[in-house]
Structure 1
């Protein structure tokens, strides 16, 4: 069991089955942070800092809000994963496809962490709606901090579908669990739907309608 999903011993689901998503989500988001630093032509130390902030930022906010132990403080492996992701990006070097990978890695992270955030909030007894909110925060907050540090427009201010994909992933997971699905089927369904929505936005330019004030 990983520290990010560490809960009361009497609570047995969904933390064990979602531990894989936990480290995977941290690694993917950390890679996007390192890639953002690479786009700015920063050094390895800055890339590692970007990776750590992006990888653990959303989960840190979630844990503070639900009153859980901050996961990376009690388990050094999360910071190690972030540093490893930064080193991997650094060693890959300048490749034509590297920066395009940022968007797709972010899509995977949004889906996986949307589910994971909702699952941990559920394990700590949060109501269904709060679980969805925690899923969205877990998936998006690290990216918000990354974009601010990189001087890029925040994902919250982009009309392309990003936060909506995280909400869909978390909401589908919570709804599936409420309908009686087990953890893994619910997680796969939620993450799959969230990723499909984000992928459609990347490939086909989907976006939500903008506010149009009446004249």
Structure 2
């Protein structure tokens, strides 16, 4: 029995103390090897075109001379988040990206690697970002404090934004579905139509949130060199 409404997002399903909800994160690994021996299909061509478009977009956001292979890091993050977001739309599959344990474990190491690389290799450039151009001398200390705080909360905002958007739509679908048993037949038809529209919106949110996470990570990395 569900103890509270948010327990649907808690990975508590287990067999022999082995959590099964997180297994949805690794479902993609079972279907990846097939693309290496199958003949190119329209899906493969579309997938390669998507990767190429993402590569060109991330390349323009990084700088004029990005490090080789940098864009593939953010393309991989986008694909992984989009896959896990999409898996959460299926019944009885745990949405791993709705849990802060998952999102923060991606955002925090990514942000820390940017900061370590920037402060070790481009120290003067990092100090320049703490004081915006044209700031009066009297406000310098306050701007340094504000910029430092805004920089420190970046991994938290990345993680919370993704988790909150994933939880919001699924929670609304759960609330609407639980009220179906107490509705009349006419209202049930409206409920089904509403849930179908909301599911279409959630399908768009899965792609948008993965794209936002990747774009913001790319912009944060472009500031360190």
Structure number with larger C-alpha Rg: 2
Compute the TM-score of the two structures, normalised by the length of structure 1: 0.35
Compute the TM-score of the two structures, normalised by the length of structure 2: 0.34
